Amino acid sequence: MDLLNTLVDKGLRRELPSREEALAVLATSDDDLLDVVAAAGKVRRQWFGRRVKLNYLVNLKSGLCPEDCSYCSQRLGSKAEILKYTWLKPDEASQAAAAGVAGGAKRVCLVASGRGPTDRDVDRVAQTIAAVKEQNEGVEVCACLGLLSDGQAERLRGAGADAYNHNLNTSEATYADITKTHTYADRVDTVRKAHAAGLSACSGLIAGMGEKDEDLVDVVFSLRELDPDSVPVNFLIPFEGTPLAKEWNLTPQRCLRILAMVRFVCPDVEVRIAGGREVHLRSMQPLALHLANSIFLGDYLTSEGQAGKADLDMIADAGFEVEGADQVTLPRHRADAAGCDSHGESGGCGPCGSAGSEPVAGAEPAEARTDLVAVRRRGAGTDLAPNA
């Protein structure tokens, strides 16, 4: 296909595709799917070889959030029967992080529900960062605490945080459809604060809430403009008890096309398959490794992922290798621009969402696979061993 040849050439040159080209990737047929994966895979291998970076989530504070994000099981008014607990102590969080590091994770993502941290919360997270780094030599730490106030990003950087995650979630035009308690501009401001403070910026999206192709392209182009080091791509986990519980709009094929589009638009950026991969990609997860160079190991914030050993086996069976702690994640030109070795390893946290209100034209609704959504009952905040 001329389209794919053009996109590969642009990806190898780090040249931005046109909006029309990005939309065309999402509109390709299932007959062309393997060609799309192969083309985007060439771009992925150019910048990241066959390495897969493992990241591990630690939910520092679960549930009880005052924000009304429609996709989130921790939202205000959520009826989802998730684990709910207040702040983990630093040693508890460090123990949880150690399980992920032992499983092969080189980055730990410390996440807390809420609108944003108070100054006291920043002090608390600073102590947790210190505990995690003391127990796990060489580990990278990403914080994901919501909207940041002036000076907080600098304080986190001073405390040893390597990165900060805050997802854009969806296009600016449709953001108010999913959240009323804060704005798209608020999220952009926080990403910029993190970047300005010298943190490795991480910002992504989620697909699967009935959004239009145009919304997906809009948010990915906005992310390209913000220039984060890492773009996590989440697929909606339709939790019972949330407003989007009935939104089962994704197929494995559509997920692969979305990941390919992200790779073409953001060729030299760490693209992570984040929340929902087990639910929506299912047996097609190994193919997605040809598009993304990063995944989360084990469980997510409030849902269970597949067994950590299954992740490691999948990576090996697909012919990829786990990225070592001594390897720099990003291509040299990006790592050098960051001016810091730790920014050579980018990361991201937290499933957030992308939205809209119209289904894809001509698409048949996917069958609801509620059997694949398992609420997390182990690890942080419990007495049971974590999945790593």
Can you list the domains of the chain with their CATH numbers? Answer: 17-372 (3.20.20.70)
72 annotated ligand-binding residue: yes
> Which one is catalytic: 51, 124, 155, 202?
202
Q: What is the CA radius of gyration of the chain?
A: 19
Tokens for 274?
């984040």
Strands 107-112 and 51-61: parallel
> Which one is catalytic: 51, 69, 107, 257?
69
Q: Which residue has the higher pLDDT, 83 or 91?
A: 91
Cβ-Cβ contacts under 8 Å for 94 (sequence gap 6 or more): 128, 131, 132, 134, 135, 136
Cα-based angle 341, 345, 347 (whole degrees, multiple of 5): 140
Q: What is the pLDDT of residues 355-373, one digit of tens each?
A: 333 333 344 556 777 777 8
Percent of the chain with pLDDT over 90: 78
Q: Give the whole-angstrom CA distance, residue 349 versus residue 366.
A: 27
Largest CA distance in the chain: 55
User: What local confidence, expressed as pLDDT, does residue 328 receive?
Assistant: 94
142 assigned to active site: yes
User: What local confidence, expressed as pLDDT, does residue 370 receive?
Assistant: 77
144 assigned to active site: no
User: Is the predicted pLDDT of residue 326 greater than 60, yes or no?
Assistant: yes
User: What local confidence, expressed as pLDDT, does residue 267 receive?
Assistant: 98
User: What local confidence, expressed as pLDDT, does residue 341 receive?
Assistant: 44
352 assigned to active site: no
Q: 180-184, 237-241, 249-253, 356-360: lowest mean pLDDT where?
A: 356-360
Q: Give the whole-angstrom CA distance, residue 229 versus residue 379.
A: 28
SS percent in the chain: helix, strand, coil, step 5:
40, 15, 45
Q: What is the pLDDT of residues 42-75, one digit of tens each?
A: 999 999 999 999 999 999 999 889 999 999 898 8
266 annotated ligand-binding residue: no
User: Is the predicted pLDDT of residue 238 greater than 60, yes or no?
Assistant: yes
> Under the phi-then-psi rule, with left for phi > 0, alpha for psi from -120 to 50, and beta for the rest, what region is 298?
left
Residue with tokens 């197929």: 251
Residue 354: which pLDDT band, with cuts at 50, 70 and 90?
A: very low
* Amino acid letter, residue 356: G
Q: What are phi and psi of 85, to 5 degrees?
A: -160, 155
107 annotated ligand-binding residue: no
User: What local confidence, expressed as pLDDT, does residue 364 receive?
Assistant: 54
pTM: 0.88
User: Is the predicted pLDDT of residue 110 greater than 60, yes or no?
Assistant: yes
Mean pLDDT of 275-279: 95
> Which one is catalytic: 44, 65, 187, 224?
65
3-state SS assignment for residue 132 = helix
Whether residue 70 contacts residue 78, with contact meaning beta carbons closer than 8 Å, is answered with no
65 annotated ligand-binding residue: yes
Q: What are phi and psi of 242, to 5 degrees?
A: -120, 160
Residue with tokens 């969806």: 170
Mean of the per-residue pLDDT values for the chain? 91
User: What local confidence, expressed as pLDDT, does residue 192 receive?
Assistant: 98
Q: Give the whole-angstrom CA distance, residue 385 versus residue 388.
A: 9
Dihedral sign for Cα atoms in the order 213, 219, 222, 227:
negative
Tokens for 97?
């992080």
> Under the phi-then-psi rule, with left for phi > 0, alpha for psi from -120 to 50, and beta for the rest, what region is 46?
alpha
> Which one is catalytic: 44, 272, 334, 376?
272
Whether residue 163 contacts residue 156, with contact meaning beta carbons closer than 8 Å, is answered with no
51 assigned to active site: no
202 annotated ligand-binding residue: yes
How many Cα atoms sit within 13 Å of 118 on the Cβ side? 4
Cβ-Cβ contacts under 8 Å for 179 (sequence gap 6 or more): 67, 68, 69, 70, 169
User: What local confidence, expressed as pLDDT, does residue 77 receive?
Assistant: 83
User: What local confidence, expressed as pLDDT, does residue 366 receive?
Assistant: 63
Cβ-Cβ contacts under 8 Å for 185 (sequence gap 6 or more): none
User: Is the predicted pLDDT of residue 256 greater than 70, yes or no?
Assistant: yes
> Which one is catalytic: 72, 144, 349, 352?
72
User: Is the predicted pLDDT of residue 119 greater than 80, yes or no?
Assistant: yes
Whether residue 74 contacts residue 301, with contact meaning beta carbons closer than 8 Å, is answered with yes
Q: Which helix (H) or strand (E) holds 215?
A: helix 213-226
Percent of the chain with pLDDT over 70: 93
User: What local confidence, expressed as pLDDT, does residue 365 receive?
Assistant: 54
340 assigned to active site: no
User: What local confidence, expressed as pLDDT, does residue 385 receive?
Assistant: 87
Cβ-Cβ contacts under 8 Å for 235 (sequence gap 6 or more): 206, 207, 208, 250, 255, 275, 276, 277, 279, 280, 281
